[in-house]
């Protein structure tokens, strides 16, 4: 199956045009709100330098310098990955078979991991500049190399725009880049030097990727990154490039090699570039470590690192490298993995934390069975819970997530689902929790669980908070893990509104019908929408042609015209707005509108369809009565919108030039 990039490549090389991304526009709404917004020009690399290169000489950890955007966390994570032995992962993220010469058409592709699958992100190569210079990330030492700037743009598109990636966590970005498991280790007084050394050295052996952060302690208004007397910056993230142990006077000292994403600004304490401590090292150790340039790179002792940094952030590429029991797991590589998708919906499945196990509210949370009944000894299990976040719609208050693990009583048979009513009867035992609820995207913990039947219950810190989640369960032995179905007419579940009920129903129907690739077709969509309509108290569903039109209009579809879960959620929301507008115009409630009403209907949904378009629609759908039904309207609106988008994408000077095959393709897709 050809990727979106390959399809675009064929289209634009044939048309001899440069690609302009219709989903990431060159206007101020896609820029960082705290930086230049007026006077910004979006230029292609060929307009900035004479001989642009995508990748000049491989990937180096010091290629990427931070610009006028607070995304040190992302740039530090790329530096960490570039400095690691996992260049093959970076090649997957940044495919090297792209350039500004052969087959150049103004677009570049990148791959990111998102909640269990790799997704391709295609961007055009127009980059924001001010006074002829790039305003965000770039390679300062080699201005002709552009993989860093374009990767940053692709990451911004993945999450919505440049503004939403201003501020974040290193481990969160590393998970997006690798699909690994994130872990955060608190520093300062929370950990001893010996324990920290064991974590650093063993994780380094396992090729885990690491970074570090200093929190903003002073919280000065308008200032997020404040320089300390030590030369380090508060509110800033650093990449850990290397860890080295050196001998000084018959003792061993652990040194960390760090890099500031700015490319300047360094630690000025012991083992800084010109400190006297270097004279205590052997010449071999000194030659292997010491640099004296202000390039943002520096060495720092483990003790100074622990006392000056607030958090060590780690991304393990396999569960084997988790810090607990790590020295015993260095040879373990095969893990059983299961994954689940779910959602917390207010009044339906967002019951909040376990304040009381006799509370009906808590038990409406999603439940997942975890069977270790075949194990004959305690089993190491890693549970990783993600909030599927949308940075564009980030809530004013971040959602804190967590989970609890209960174990069924062996004496009694287990019920189909634990509820407030049967809790006392079956008496499942609380065996583990995720600990403190965190307002971060990922919550991951390792446990040693006894053989038997367990229940995992993901939940939020407060009841009623809505979000989707992605749950991964790793175990060192084969396991059986599956969602617990919500029984019909469950007294615990009281939907808060018809909208909540219908959306929950379509998501549940989608989960029940989707294949392993995560997509469904129009025939499946008929079934999914029928579930939503029935949940909202409507009997009649949509026919397959309507669902084909809706799928064809979706922004989130595969090259085969299939649609994924997020696409279904979005078109369902759009569908409700279109139907509401239709019924607003259909004042006599006869499920039909004439040409004048159709014109008003288009105006209501803010779509400027001229009289020619309305006349063509009425000719196609109006029949002898000159009126169209709601479902006819949905079909014609989808087709009209698709044609409009195609025109906006391909038109030059108000005209479109296309081949016969392109014309047929557009006609069939509508």
Domain end point (choices 288, 316, 344): 316
Q: Flag whether 577 is in a domain.
A: yes
* Beta carbons of 408 and 426 less than 8 angstroms apart: yes
Q: pLDDT-derived band of residue 397, with 50, 70 and 90 as boundaries? A: low
How does pLDDT run across 225-273, given as a tens digit for each residue?
Answer: 688 999 999 989 999 988 998 888 778 899 999 999 888 889 999 999 8
Least confident of 329-333, 461-465, 575-579: 329-333
What is the reported pLDDT for 223?
Answer: 55
Least confident of 20-34, 68-82, 155-169, 514-528: 514-528
What is the reported pLDDT for 193?
Answer: 93
Residues 512 and 465 in one domain: no
Its sign, for the CA torsion 513, 515, 518, 524, is: negative
Beta bridge partners of 186: 311
Q: Does 634 have pLDDT greater than 90?
A: no
Q: pLDDT-derived band of residue 411, with 50, 70 and 90 as boundaries? A: low
What is d(CA 550, CA 639) in angstroms, rounded to the nearest whole number? 9
CATH of residue 343's domain is 2.60.120.380
CATH of residue 256's domain is 3.90.70.10
Q: Flag whether 329 is in a domain.
A: no
* Beta carbons of 63 and 148 less than 8 angstroms apart: yes
Active site residue 236: yes
Burial of 182 (0-12, 13-18, 19+ CB in 10 A): buried
Q: Flag whether 493 is in a domain.
A: no
Q: Over pLDDT 90: what percentage of the chain?
A: 28
What is the reported pLDDT for 608?
Answer: 62
Residues 393 and 513 in one domain: no
* Beta carbons of 270 and 277 less than 8 angstroms apart: yes
* Beta carbons of 533 and 540 less than 8 angstroms apart: yes
What is d(CA 325, CA 493) in angstroms, rounded to the nearest whole number? 41
* Beta carbons of 452 and 411 less than 8 angstroms apart: no
What is d(CA 193, CA 272) in angstroms, rounded to the nearest whole number? 20
Listed in sequence order, the DSSP H helices in 242-357 are 283-289, 302-308
Q: pLDDT-derived band of residue 218, with 50, 70 and 90 as boundaries? A: low
What is d(CA 485, CA 250) in angstroms, rounded to the nearest whole number? 63
Q: Does 516 have pLDDT greater than 80?
A: no
What is d(CA 151, CA 112) in angstroms, rounded to the nearest whole number? 10
**Dihedral in degrees, nearest 10, Cα atoms 183, 184, 189, 190:** -50
Q: Flag whether 324 is in a domain.
A: no
Residues 160 and 207 in one domain: no
What is the reported pLDDT for 670?
Answer: 55
CATH of residue 535's domain is 1.10.238.10
Residues 396 and 266 in one domain: no
What is the reported pLDDT for 395?
Answer: 42
Residues 590 and 548 in one domain: yes
Cβ neighbours of 429 (radius 10 Å) = 11
* Beta carbons of 225 and 234 less than 8 angstroms apart: yes
What is d(CA 371, CA 386) in angstroms, rounded to the nearest whole number? 21
Residues 22 and 168 in one domain: yes
Residues 163 and 186 in one domain: no
Q: pLDDT-derived band of residue 432, with 50, 70 and 90 as boundaries? A: very high
One of 72, 80, 148, 315 is an active-site residue; which one? 72
What is the reported pLDDT for 317?
Answer: 78
**Dihedral in degrees, nearest 10, Cα atoms 202, 206, 209, 214:** -10
For 69, the 3-state DSSP assignment is coil
What is the reported pLDDT for 320?
Answer: 52
What DSSP letter does each residue of 581-619 carry, written as one string? HHHHH-TT-SS-B-HHHHHHHHHHTT----HHHHHHHHH
Three-class SS of 421-441: CCHHHHCCEEEEECCCCECCC
Least confident of 88-102, 123-137, 378-392: 378-392
Q: Flag whether 635 is in a domain.
A: yes
What is the reported pLDDT for 369?
Answer: 93
Q: Which domain holds residue 124?
A: 4-176
Residues 121 and 82 in one domain: yes
Least confident of 517-526, 537-546, 606-615: 606-615
Q: Does 221 have pLDDT greater than 60?
A: no
Token pair 């006297």 is found at: 276
Residue 389, phi then psi, degrees to nearest 5: -90, 155
One of 139, 260, 329, 365 is an active-site residue; which one? 260
Q: Residues 285-312: what's their mean pLDDT?
A: 85
What is the reported pLDDT for 607?
Answer: 59
What is d(CA 255, CA 181) in angstroms, rounded to the nearest whole number? 25
Domain end point (choices 143, 176, 209): 176
Residues 286 and 172 in one domain: no
Domain end point (choices 125, 141, 176): 176
* Beta carbons of 407 and 453 less than 8 angstroms apart: yes
Higher pLDDT, 33 or 1: 33
What is the reported pLDDT for 50?
Answer: 92
Q: Flag whether 627 is in a domain.
A: yes
Active site residue 661: no
Residues 280 and 414 in one domain: no
Q: Flag whether 650 is in a domain.
A: yes
| 197: enclosing H helix or E strand | helix 193-205
Residue 366, phi then psi, degrees to nearest 5: -60, 145
Q: pLDDT-derived band of residue 391, with 50, 70 and 90 as boundaries? A: low
Burial of 101 (0-12, 13-18, 19+ CB in 10 A): exposed
How does pLDDT run across 102-146, given as a tens digit for each residue?
Answer: 899 999 999 999 888 889 999 999 999 999 999 999 988 899 999
All residues at 6 or more sequence positions from 361 whose CB lies less than 8 Å from its CB, including other chains:
351, 352, 463
Report residue 548 as tokens.
């084909």
State pTM to two decimals: 0.66
What is the reported pLDDT for 318?
Answer: 65
Residues 627 and 567 in one domain: yes
- For the chain, the domain total comes to 4
Burial of 558 (0-12, 13-18, 19+ CB in 10 A): middle
Cβ neighbours of 397 (radius 10 Å) = 10
Active site residue 131: no
Residues 118 and 240 in one domain: no
One of 171, 236, 408, 454 is an active-site residue; which one? 236
Higher pLDDT, 565 or 245: 245
Its sign, for the CA torsion 23, 29, 33, 36, is: positive
Q: Does 523 have pLDDT greater than 50?
A: yes
Q: Does 589 have pLDDT greater than 80?
A: no
Q: Flag whether 391 is in a domain.
A: yes
Higher pLDDT, 345 or 108: 108
What is the reported pLDDT for 207?
Answer: 75
Mean pLDDT over the full length of the chain: 82
Instruction: Please tell me the total number of residues recorded for the chain in this structure.
Output: 670
């Amino acid at each position: 199956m050809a990727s979106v990039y390959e399809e675009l490549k064929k289209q634009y090389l044939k048309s001899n045009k440069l690609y302009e991304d219709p989903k990431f526009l060159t206007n101020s709404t896609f820029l960082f709100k705290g930086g230049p917004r007026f006077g910004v020009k979006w230029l292609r690399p060929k307009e900035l330098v004479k001989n642009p290169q995508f990748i000049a000489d491989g990937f180096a950890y010091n290629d990427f310098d931070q610009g006028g955007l607070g995304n040190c966390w992302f740039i530090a994570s790329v530096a960490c990955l570039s400095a690691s032995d996992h260049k093959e992962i970076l090649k997957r993220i940044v495919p090297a078979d792209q350039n500004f010469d052969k087959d150049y058409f103004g677009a570049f592709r990148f791959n990111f991991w998102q909640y269990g699958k790799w997704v391709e992100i295609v961007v055009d190569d127009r980059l924001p500049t001010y006074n002829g210079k790039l305003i965000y990330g770039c390679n300062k030492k080699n201005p002709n190399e552009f993989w860093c700037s374009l990767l940053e743009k692709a990451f911004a598109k993945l999450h919505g725009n440049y503004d939403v990636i201003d501020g974040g966590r290193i481990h969160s970005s590393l998970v997006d880049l690798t699909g690994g498991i994130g872990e955060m280790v608190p520093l300062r007084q929370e950990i001893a030097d010996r324990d920290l050394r064991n974590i650093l050295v063993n994780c380094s052996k396992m090729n885990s990727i690491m970074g570090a952060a200093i929190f903003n302690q002073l919280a000065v208004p308008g200032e997020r990154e404040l320089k300390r007397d030590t030369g380090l910056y508060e509110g800033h993230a650093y990449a850990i490039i290397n860890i080295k142990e050196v001998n000084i006077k018959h003792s061993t000292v652990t040194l960390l090699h760090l890099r500031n994403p700015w490319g300047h600004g360094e630690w000025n304490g012991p083992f800084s570039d010109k400190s006297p401590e270097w004279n205590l090292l052997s010449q071999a150790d000194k030659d292997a470590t010491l640099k004296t340039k202000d390039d943002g790179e520096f060495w720092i002792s483990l003790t100074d690192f622990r006392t000056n940094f607030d958090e060590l952030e780690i991304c393990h590429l396999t569960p084997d490298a988790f810090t607990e029991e790590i020295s015993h797991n260095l040879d373990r590589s095969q893990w059983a993995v299961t994954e689940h998708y779910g959602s917390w919906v207010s009044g339906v499945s967002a019951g909040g934390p376990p304040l009381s196990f006799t509370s009906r509210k808590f038990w409406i949370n999603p439940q997942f069975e975890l069977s270790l009944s075949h194990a004959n000894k305690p089993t190491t299990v890693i549970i990783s819970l993600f909030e599927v976040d949308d940075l564009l719609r980030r809530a004013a208050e971040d959602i804190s997530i967590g989970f609890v693990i209960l174990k069924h009583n062996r004496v009694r048979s287990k019920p189909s689902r634990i509820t407030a009513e049967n809790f006392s009867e079956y008496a499942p035992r609380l065996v583990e929790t995720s600990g403190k609820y965190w307002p971060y995207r990922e919550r991951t913990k390792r446990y040693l669980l006894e053989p038997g039947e367990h229940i995992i219950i993901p939940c939020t810190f407060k009841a009623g908070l809505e979000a989707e989640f992605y749950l991964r369960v790793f175990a060192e032995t084969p396991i059986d893990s599956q969602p617990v179905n919500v029984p019909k007419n469950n007294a615990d579940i009281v939907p808060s509104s018809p909208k909540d009920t219908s959306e929950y129903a379509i998501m549940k129907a989608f989960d029940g019908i989707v294949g392993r690739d995560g997509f469904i077709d129009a025939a499946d969509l008929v079934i999914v929408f029928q579930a939503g309509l029935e949940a909202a108290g409507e009997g009649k569903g949509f026919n397959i042609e309507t669902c084909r039109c809706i799928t064809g209009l979706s922004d989130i579809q595969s090259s085969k015209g299939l649609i994924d879960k997020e696409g279904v959620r979005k078109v369902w929301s759009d569908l409700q707005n279109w139907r509401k507008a239709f019924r607003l115009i259909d004042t006599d409630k006869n499920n039909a509108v004439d040409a004048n009403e159709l014109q008003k209907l288009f105006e209501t949904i803010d779509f400027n369809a001229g009289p020619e378009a309305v006349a063509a629609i009425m000719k196609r759908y109006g029949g002898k009565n000159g009126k169209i039904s709601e479902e006819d309207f949905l079909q014609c609106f989808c087709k009209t919108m698709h044609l409009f988008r195609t025109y906006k994408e391909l038109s030059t000077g108000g005209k479109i030039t296309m081949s016969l095959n392109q014309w047929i393709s557009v006609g069939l897709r509508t």
